A = this chain, B = another copy of it.
Amino acid sequence: MLSIHVLRYRTTKNYDMDIECRNRIGFDFSEGSGKTLHGVNPVSNTMIPDKFFTATPEDVDEAMHKAQTAFQKFSTTVWEERAAFLESIADEMEALGDLLIHRASEETGLPEARIIGERGRTTGQLRMFAQYIRTGNWVEATIDTAIADRSPVPKPDLRKMMVPLGPVVVFGASNFPLAYSVAGGDTAAALAAGCPVLVKAHPGHPGTSALVGEAIIKAAQMHDMPDGTFSLLYDNGFAVGQALVGHPYTTAVGFTGSVGGGRALFDIAAKRPNPIPVFAEMGSTNPVILLPEALKARSKEVAQEYAASITLGVGQFCTNPGLLFGIRGEELEEFKSHLKTAFIGTNPGTMLHEGIGKAFMQKSNKMLSEPDVAVLVESDKEATADQVRPTFATTKGSEFIKNPSLHEEVFGPFSMLIECENIDELDHCIKALHGQLTGTLIGEPDDFENHTALVYELQQKVGRLIFNGVPTGVEVCPSMMHGGPYPATTDSRFTAVGIHSIKRFLRPVAYQNTPHPLLPGPLKNENPNKIMRLVNGTYTTEPV
């Protein structure tokens, strides 16, 4: 018989899918205190009737104890098993079929095509990590063999590798219901590292979270992963998140969201008796520098490209270009004129949920009320009550330098052109910037040759420097750096995208004079998997 807490759906393909409405405490369930939350369709502004139980601090404690108990077995699973587990999560997500696509689209207002693309990215990330952990290179094996006759003292045998930190807490992101939520990048990296994961579902998409959560549980059971490897908790307030970050067993936190939210979690983690790292990806205005020769050569093309980038996904990408900088003159006027033409026809859109839409209205209005800030162009398309209208503002470089409010991110389809008097003022503007995920330079070869100092200054502020492109579109590959100095993230030394994001959840351990049978596999003399190791100062895939 079907549990009363499971909603059975008949998919368009004529098979049944279940949505579990309770918190997942490992393989068990909890109704918490009995309070519930529900999703809202932001396009129709109607409540989605399915109710999800919010967790209690006791649920958090139980899930953390399970995670801590699961840690030993899970962290010492052989790589092949963990890789297969990750691949099965991807398979199970795909098996959810249209139900997942419909539900994610319904809960976020994002078009189905976008959700389908995001699902591809999410399953791609899971499979990428499966492949990566099989290589063994992620343990960064380093070996220095003994020198027994060294004077004055013998050199011991020392071998070092990365090991998982322990249970990791992941906060689902509103703007990526799949790729940065329940089985998103943070979860995939932490599980790949060998860390049990506890996800706090984003309250904006509980049904999507539940579906993906069940995919993970199913995969965990299929591969005999220990109970507690994964838990999923719901809350539409702060108590569960705070309890998760403050719990003694938590060893790291992944978060994508606002500066306010990320900083609050960072502060809780920093005040713990034993502080833990928080990897919060937060606010970024992703500055774009328009250099004069480029505008001379192709201002129309750039204007069109940027009108599209700014409004992509209703401006809800963390790499949305919020600030454009140019130097006053004929070229910039021409660019503005092209931008107006291209931008006026952009489409209004519905933001992820009502709260984000309201915040957009409030923040964009506040920005437009700052001294010397004016609207350059707005979309003139008709907008329904739930939609927001793309807006492009303009201000002066001197204002930008002196008014800190102009540096704040307006999350959504809002950008601002900063018109500088000259290259010196532009340089000052860049120096005044906060840390950013990305910085973009639009220039011709002559531009770069004339302004090498600008290129350097911008690099100091960013995690990714882009030449002649748009910052939206984050390639998932080893050389991606998705991160940057504060407030783009709370830790500029790590990327949140790509294989190297696993580094966030690992720490090195050295083994001294360890009897060979007791050495972990990657540090034994034999090297059957041909791991790249640093042996006595030289990189090699050979055995010792």
Q: Which residues of A contact B (CB under 8 A)?
A: 72, 76, 137, 142-144, 153, 155-156, 158-160, 163, 165-166, 266-267, 270-271, 274-275, 277, 434-435, 445, 448, 455-456, 459-460, 462-469, 473, 475, 477-481, 483, 485-487, 490-495, 500, 503, 506-515, 517-518, 532, 534, 537, 539
Contacts and interface: CB of A to CB of B under 8 A. Distances in A.
A512 B469 contact: yes
Nearest to A434: B274
A480 B513 CA distance: 12
Contacts of A477: 144, 155, 158
Contact of A465 (B506, B509, B517): B509
8 contacts: A158-B477, A160-B480, A270-B270, A274-B435, A277-B493, A445-B517, A459-B509, A464-B509
A226 to B, nearest CB: 14
Contact of A537 (B459, B473, B478): B478
Contact of A479 (B159, B267, B468): B159
A446 B271 CA distance: 43
Given A445-B515, A448-B518, A515-B445, A479 B143 contact: yes
Contacts of A537: 478
B487 A509 contact: no
A456 to B, nearest CB: 6
Nearest to A503: B493
Contact of A275 (B158, B266, B517): B266
A283 to B, nearest CB: 12
Contacts of A508: 463, 481, 483, 493-495, 500
A515 B448 contact: yes
Contacts of A466: 512-513
A153 B305 CA distance: 14
A160 to B, nearest CB: 4
Contacts of A165: 492-493
B160 A481 contact: yes
Contacts of A72: 456
A512 B465 contact: yes
Give the top 3 A-B pairs by smallest Cβ distance, nearest first: A270-B270, A481-B510, A160-B479
A511 B465 CA distance: 5
Contacts of A156: 469, 475
Contact of A469 (B270, B478, B480, B513): B513
B479 A510 contact: yes
Contacts of A479: 142-144, 158-160, 510, 534
A317 B511 CA distance: 20
A514 B270 contact: no
A512 B442 CA distance: 12
A153 B537 CA distance: 41
A507 B478 contact: no
Given A455-B518, A481-B509, 20 more contacts: A142-B500, A144-B475, A144-B477, A153-B473, A155-B475, A160-B480, A160-B481, A270-B270, A274-B487, A275-B486, A277-B491, A463-B507, A464-B511, A465-B509, A465-B514, A467-B513, A467-B514, A467-B518, A480-B510, A500-B508
Given A465-B510, A491-B277, A539 B532 contact: yes
Contacts of A503: 493
Nearest to A162: B493
A401 B434 CA distance: 47
B267 A512 contact: no
Contacts of A507: 463, 483, 485, 492-493
Nearest to A490: B275
Contacts of A475: 144, 155-156, 158
Given A72-B456, A274-B487, A467 B158 contact: no
Contact of A270 (B267, B492, B500, B512): B267
B534 A462 contact: no
Contacts of A158: 475, 477, 479-480
Contacts of A490: 275
A259 to B, nearest CB: 11
A440 to B, nearest CB: 9
A495 B483 CA distance: 22
Contact of A509 (B153, B462, B467, B539): B462
